[in-house]
Amino acid sequence: MSETQPVYVRMVVPGNIDGFDARPGIFCAAYELKYRNDVDKISLEILLDLLGWFEEYLDAPDKFSRKKNDSHSDFTRGLSWFKPSATVYVQKMWQLKTLLGEWDYPVEVLKTRRPGRIIYEDNVQVVADPFSDTPR
């Protein structure tokens, strides 16, 4: 692994994604917190502001899977990673991580230079079918 390769960032929470060897991303916990009944008004406002910002500025990938082989109908599942150039987005993710931590959602920050085979890419993120050594 070359030190000149970019480092991609993903934030995850404990658990498993059904049928996939990966932990859920931070947005799963954020939306779970959004619908809890015990969240105070200030925390909810901060959460809604952050989620609103991402909904406005972060494009939803149009695909998270690709065929493994054209002769098979098996599909892979991709994981979303922020590019190194997405500094504002990652700063917002850290704010979200801090808020979730206050509500006992442990968030782990994953970093890799090898996110996997790229399925989708835009200016701030990639969705990649992870390699066997890609953190999940």
Q: What are phi and psi of 87, to 5 degrees?
A: -60, -40
- The C-alpha atoms of residue 63 and residue 111 are separated, in whole angstroms, by 22
Question: Is the pLDDT at 75 greater than 70, yes or no?
Answer: no
- Give the pairing of strands 108-112 and 125-129: unpaired
Q: What are phi and psi of 55, to 5 degrees?
A: -65, -35
- Of the pLDDT bands very low, low, confident and very high (cuts 50, 70, 90), residue 104 is very high
- How high does pLDDT run on average in the chain? 90
- The C-alpha atoms of residue 130 and residue 136 are separated, in whole angstroms, by 8
Question: Is the pLDDT at 83 greater than 50, yes or no?
Answer: yes
Question: Is the pLDDT at 7 greater than 80, yes or no?
Answer: yes
Query: Tens of pLDDT along 28-71?
Result: 999 999 999 999 999 999 999 999 999 999 999 876 665 554 44
pTM over 0.95: no
B/e letters for 90-114, b = 16+ CB within 10 Å, e = fewer, are bebbeebbebbeebebebeebebee
Q: What are phi and psi of 44, to 5 degrees?
A: -65, -40
- The C-alpha atoms of residue 132 and residue 136 are separated, in whole angstroms, by 10
